[in-house]
Amino acid sequence: MIIAVDGPTASGKGTIAKALAAHFGLPHLDTGLLYRAVGRQVALDGRDPDDPTDALAATAFPDALLLDPQLRSEETGGLASRVSIHPAVRLALFERQRAFAEQPGGAVLDGRDIGTVIAPEAEVKLFVTASVTARAQRRWLEMQDRELDLELREIEADIAARDKRDIERQDAPLKAAPDALVLDTTELGKDEAVAAAIEAVEAGLR
């Protein structure tokens, strides 16, 4: 069984995907982490994330980079959004994601194009979304917990810019698959969102 969980940044899709994986006993892949690793590698190389050649070279990042806590930073998230617009980068990471999805027993994958590109055959597809304001507030609280001093308005502007890049890119743009179940978490707490997602998946499997 493959469960695809898509959605924009800070929508709660990662938390939901992890909870679904635990509930259904499936392995989980945060595909966005792969793009964050590419973005981080570009920065480490001192290259340009907007240059397709530089970005493609960074897809050869070492596996150990996936453990770098810097991947979760706002700066790296912005770099990931920039490198992900390059078709060659997406193609380079495609097989890695497909192999994970096709493993025996299935898997849960979350990202921005799982249900539309990576695993269109997924038994259940969720598209998790929320307002930009709600997502910015969540990310700001995360930053506060990590004692990082960022202005809420800066985070909101960054999220809006990422949304624009992700939605408007020509290759695998962010969008809900036609058969995806849309879950708006704007007014939901973490536990409520997870419960709604589990209910939606179970309904989709009936």
Instruction: Note the pLDDT of residue 95.
Output: 87
State the Cα–Cα distance between residues 28 and 184, nearest whole angstrom. Answer: 22
At 12, list the tokens.
């709660």
Instruction: Note the pLDDT of residue 147.
Output: 67
Average pLDDT score over residue span 123-146: 91
DSSP string, 108-174: EEEESSIIIII-TT-SEEEEEE--HHHHHHHHHHHHHHTT----HHHHHHHHHHHHHHHHH-SSS-S
In which element (H, E) is residue 197 found?
Answer: helix 190-205
For 14-71, write each residue's pLDDT tens digit.
Answer: 999 999 999 999 999 999 899 999 999 999 999 999 999 999 999 999 989 999 999 9
User: Residue 146 — pLDDT band, cuts 50, 70, 90?
Assistant: confident
Instruction: Note the pLDDT of residue 143.
Output: 80
For 158-200, write each residue's pLDDT tens digit.
Answer: 999 989 988 998 888 899 999 999 999 999 999 999 999 999 9
Phi, psi of 37 (to 5 degrees): -65, -40
Instruction: Note the pLDDT of residue 181.
Output: 94
State the Cα–Cα distance between residues 80 and 162, nearest whole angstrom. Answer: 9
SS3 110: strand
pTM value > 0.95: no
Could you give the C-alpha distances from 192 to 70, 140, 182, in angstroms and in order? 29, 20, 15
Q: What architecture is the 2-201 domain classified under in CATH?
A: 3-Layer(aba) Sandwich (3.40)
For 74-110, write each residue's pLDDT tens digit.
Answer: 889 889 989 998 999 999 999 889 999 999 999 999 9
DSSP symbol at 151 = -
